[in-house]
Structure 1
Amino acid sequence: MVSEAPTTAARRGDRSTAVVFVLCAAAFMAMLDVFVVNVAFTDIGRSFPGSSLPDLSWVLNAYTIVYAALLIPAGRLADRHGRKMGFLTGLVLFTLASAACATAPTLWWLVTFRVLQAAGAAALTPASLGLLLTALPPERRAGAVKIWAITSSLAATLGPVTGGALVQLSWQWVFLINLPIGILAFAAARRVLPESRDVSGRTPDLPGGALLAITLSVAALGLVKGDVWGWADTLTLGAFTTAIIGLALFLLRIKRHPTPFIDPALFRVPAFAWANTTVLLFCTAFGAAFPCVVLWLQNVAGFNAIDTGLAIMPGPLMVPVFAIAAQRLVRRVSPNIVVASGNLLFCAGAAMLALGASADVRYVTQILPGWLIIGVGIGLALPTLLGAATTGLPPAQAATASAVVNTSRQLGYVLGVAILVAVMGTIPSSSNQAQALFEHAWWFIALTAALSALTALAIKPRNTHP
């Protein structure tokens, strides 16, 4: 019996490592898809002649809207009915939807399949984090969660280059690459992942989640189509009015429903409320920055997809480096100061890009410096902000609060793309027009980042317990 103990321990250790690898691989795949599609954006437009920039933006917006709306209810359903089942279901849906995206005959079929992709990602993401927290021994959980969180930064770093290389073959490969990864992850997950569930959980308010999704979709539609329809047109005003009514109904519903989509008590915690406001503003700037620089490089500077990916990569490379630096810095400086500093750097980088916008693009002097500073700002702000949002909350509320913060994050991406499209109007056809449009876009991003720096100063947790 004594000789078998080390073997058993080793097997458990191997199983834990396999669990972390499988869950992080799937989460990485879901995040990578967001960034590779940014690089493929222009090529997708060329495949569907006659598609306007507002129409193309739904390839991004459809994904982020549905992902944001389903993240919390999908996580709570997985808690109740089984996290392994939720993870496997999401993985299968995401993989099959990826194959469908690659074969989409029209732009709107592609948008439809992106909605299915988002539903799969919304199912597997919270389930994967829940499995990390329940399947691993306590001493390995903290390290595993850090690895899981870093996959987002790694996806942002590798996504542009990967997308650029795949687009050289065809934009369809941006989606087809998910098939072998999804199949291998599914086979491994069935073997190594244990089942876990919370039998005490109750089904969340799914109609409330649907109401929020519809509200966000209509608001994004008004922003994206406003320049086409006219800002005073009845269609535009009707979209915004519908969104306001939908938001009011949603707020009323979460106050009265026994298992609300979002617990309103969370927003009575000042640090949490201000953190979500900051996340929304920050990710609005972040969501606009990536497609803005891609459009600039491909439509004005004339970069191809692989050159665009390589040009974008230095910014995301700064994120994991300065995320590590931020974790050390918060031991000496209040987290809200670190977040505000990162947001101000983001603002400064965007302002440099606005000042450098010209018809004759010089990457090394006009784009790279500002883009690097934006990467540094994101690295300092985003991980610290996500952690500060749940500091001081009771453990029972931490999981739901984390899902709410990630929902605010996705909503910011939706608003960023939608407002960018509203500012740009269309893909510029002349150099002089391009210069003015990109100046306006980068000043909008800089202003939003500056506002997020101001709201970050109000994030003052009641205590500093992790």
Structure 2
Amino acid sequence: MSELASEPVAQQDSVGEPPGRRARSFGAAFLLVAAGVAMSNLDQFIVNVALPQIGDRLGHESLSSVSWVLNAYAVLFGALLVPAGNLADRFGARGVYLGGIAGFTVASLACALAPNVWLLVVFRAVQAVGAAAMVPASLGVLLAATPPEKRLTAIRGWTAISGAAAALGPALGGVLTEAGWRWVFLINVPIGLAVLVAGPALLPKAPARTGTRLPDLPGAALVTAAIGLLSLAVVKGSDWGWTSAAVLGSLAACVVLLALFVAWCSRAVTPVLPLSLLRIRPFAAASLANLLFAVPFAAMLLSSVLWAETVWHWSAMRTGLAVAPGPLMVPLLAAKGGPLVTRFGPARVTAAGCVVFAAGIGWWIATMRATADYPAAMLPGMLLTGIGVGLTLPTLIGAAVTSVPPDRFATGSAVVSMARQVGAVLGVAGLVAILARAGDPEHVFRQGWWLIVATTLVTAVVYLVVARRPAAAG
């Protein structure tokens, strides 16, 4: 990590803020950057708790329709991370960061005022564009304000914000949803305005790279459309029929668009997915496992919320507090997992994390019943899944990012994040497709949990095989 952090930022010393001023502005810059990164990450978790109330209050929409409130955000956020990073390099990180904050804040207000689900989905997509601009630019802004000797600490603090947001998301979402689901989005408005007011004066200018090319928007459009069509086919499979022309046509169009996307990325100068990175075996293996693990992770989070609110009929606040112990385990284990990776290697630690995660879901399969019994049923499963995520996700992200050359650190991070968002979309879509079936809730949820167990164990096996497979000669 130290080499990855030092080379790109060393280039900024000659053209960025003076060292003395950078040191003085570090605290304020970190606070303003943390606000934006926390907002973008909270929004991925906080809305889960509000989802049942959103569907109920906006015309009693079905779960398959309301799920697009999650998926629209995840698809666009993941697809635009790399292009947004290119924009930050070309035009300067501070301007792109503040522009992302402005777009995210306005879209949050629009989400809070949305009169129906489908306008809410549109505004969520705009939110995702703002979030995608914020996240990669925020690191450039932070490094420009950080003295060289503190940059590794700053990067660790920057990455820890995501874990803290994941831990706080369910509980905060429950509290806000009790006051009304619109507060889930309104909470972003004062934070965004505060950053926009203070940012121009307190955030340093990160150097722009005048030779950087324009971002790959056609590639982003292709992958967004492909993943959107795949999600549509999975979510609507039960309603339309898995062999219907609509489902088969959506899947066929997805395959065609993905083929076009790969062909485009092989020719584009600054592609959304740099194919050269996939030739680095540790990066490719960890990114694939990251995508696969995001499927059960996203499905687990949504299933726990839906079970508590629809089967046990708990309030949003009680549900948020009930779900919180699992995510709270993630930052704790992320901080302690480094020695394990050093001793046993990322593949074994990831496999162990997947097994623990699957054990948590297995506990739910064995103990969760319609009669609420949180201490003996949901809580042990939440803790086990939290331990599994804490061992797996930081390990996969670290294995991917530390395997790329220093000058590709930002792009590699964005590709890993994109893989995780694509997996989350597929996880939500798969769970929704199962829960949309009519039948006894216990039986239907148990089917979803068996799918989560299966995809988790597949992740472990695939990563063990691909990571340890010897590279081809040359």
Please tell me the residue identity of whatever aligns with 1:436: H
In structure 2, the residue matched to 1:443 is 450
In structure 2, the residue matched to 1:391 is 402
1:26-65 to 2 correspondences below 5 Å: 26-65=36-75
Deviation at 1:221, TM superposition (A): 0.7
In structure 2, the residue matched to 1:258 is 269
1:447-458 to 2 correspondences below 5 Å: 447-457=454-464, 458=466
- Rounded Cα–Cα distance in structure 2 between residues aligned with 1:325 and 1:278: 21
Deviation at 1:11, TM superposition (A): 5.9
Contact 1:63 1:118 in 2 (8 A): yes
Deviation at 1:215, TM superposition (A): 0.8
**Residue aligned with 2:211, SS:** coil
Contact 1:100 1:113 in 2 (8 A): yes
**Residue aligned with 2:453, SS:** helix
Report Cα offsets for 1:420-461 as digits up to 9, x if no partner.
1111115x6xxx710011101111111111111112323359
Return the match for 2:467 from 456, 459, 463.
Answer: 459
Contact 2:111 2:182 in 1 (8 A): yes
- Rounded Cα–Cα distance in structure 2 between residues aligned with 1:390 and 1:168: 39
- Rounded Cα–Cα distance in structure 2 between residues aligned with 1:209 and 1:40: 29
- Rounded Cα–Cα distance in structure 1 between residues aligned with 2:179 and 2:60: 23
Distance change >3 Å, CA 460–CA 147, structure 1 → 2: farther
- Rounded Cα–Cα distance in structure 1 between residues aligned with 2:230 and 2:351: 28
**Residue aligned with 1:295, SS:** helix
Aligned-residue CA RMSD (Å): 1.8
In structure 1, the residue matched to 2:326 is 315
In structure 2, the residue matched to 1:165 is 175
In structure 2, the residue matched to 1:86 is 96
Distance change >3 Å, CA 392–CA 12, structure 1 → 2: closer
**Residue aligned with 2:343, SS:** coil
In structure 1, the residue matched to 2:114 is 104
- Rounded Cα–Cα distance in structure 2 between residues aligned with 1:56 and 1:186: 31
Q: State the TM-score, normalizing by the size of structure 2.
A: 0.92
In structure 2, the residue matched to 1:345 is 356
Contact 2:19 2:147 in 1 (8 A): no
In structure 1, the residue matched to 2:165 is 155
Deviation at 1:134, TM superposition (A): 3.3
Q: Does 1:357 align with 2:368?
A: yes
Return the match for 1:120 from 126, 130, 133.
Answer: 130
**Residue aligned with 1:389, SS:** helix
Please tell me the residue identity of whatever aligns with 2:343: R
**Residue aligned with 1:347, SS:** helix
**Residue aligned with 2:115, SS:** coil
Question: Where does structure 1 lack aligned partners over 5 or more consecutive residues?
Answer: 1-7
Contact 2:22 2:146 in 1 (8 A): no
Please tell me the residue identity of whatever aligns with 1:454: V
- Rounded Cα–Cα distance in structure 2 between residues aligned with 1:9 and 1:195: 13
**Residue aligned with 1:330, SS:** helix
Question: Where does structure 2 lack aligned partners over 5 or more consecutive residues?
Answer: 1-17
Deviation at 1:279, TM superposition (A): 0.3
Q: State the TM-score, normalizing by the size of structure 1.
A: 0.94
Contact 2:93 2:138 in 1 (8 A): yes
**Residue aligned with 2:251, SS:** helix
Return the match for 2:245 from 225, 234, 237.
Answer: 234
In structure 2, the residue matched to 1:138 is 148
Return the match for 1:181 from 191, 195, 204.
Answer: 191
Report Cα offsets for 1:311-344 as digits up to 9, x if no partner.
0111111111111120232232212211221111
Distance change >3 Å, CA 133–CA 454, structure 1 → 2: farther
Higher mean C-alpha displacement, 192-201 vs 314-323: 192-201
Report Cα offsets for 1:358-382 as digits up to 9, x if no partner.
2223111111111100000111111
Deviation at 1:188, TM superposition (A): 2.0
- Rounded Cα–Cα distance in structure 2 between residues aligned with 1:417 and 1:339: 22
Distance change >3 Å, CA 132–CA 460, structure 1 → 2: farther
- Rounded Cα–Cα distance in structure 2 between residues aligned with 1:461 and 1:120: 39
In structure 1, the residue matched to 2:7 is none
Contact 1:15 1:192 in 2 (8 A): yes
Residue-pair matches, total = 452
Please tell me the residue identity of whatever aligns with 1:439: R
Contact 2:94 2:203 in 1 (8 A): yes
- Rounded Cα–Cα distance in structure 2 between residues aligned with 1:332 and 1:264: 31
**Residue aligned with 1:199, SS:** coil
Contact 1:355 1:439 in 2 (8 A): no
Percent identical: 44
In structure 2, the residue matched to 1:72 is 82
Q: Does 1:433 align with 2:440?
A: yes
- Rounded Cα–Cα distance in structure 2 between residues aligned with 1:461 and 1:248: 26
Deviation at 1:261, TM superposition (A): 2.2
Contact 1:392 1:461 in 2 (8 A): no
- Rounded Cα–Cα distance in structure 2 between residues aligned with 1:386 and 1:424: 30
Contact 1:163 1:306 in 2 (8 A): yes
In structure 1, the residue matched to 2:339 is 328
In structure 1, the residue matched to 2:200 is 190
Deviation at 1:257, TM superposition (A): 2.3
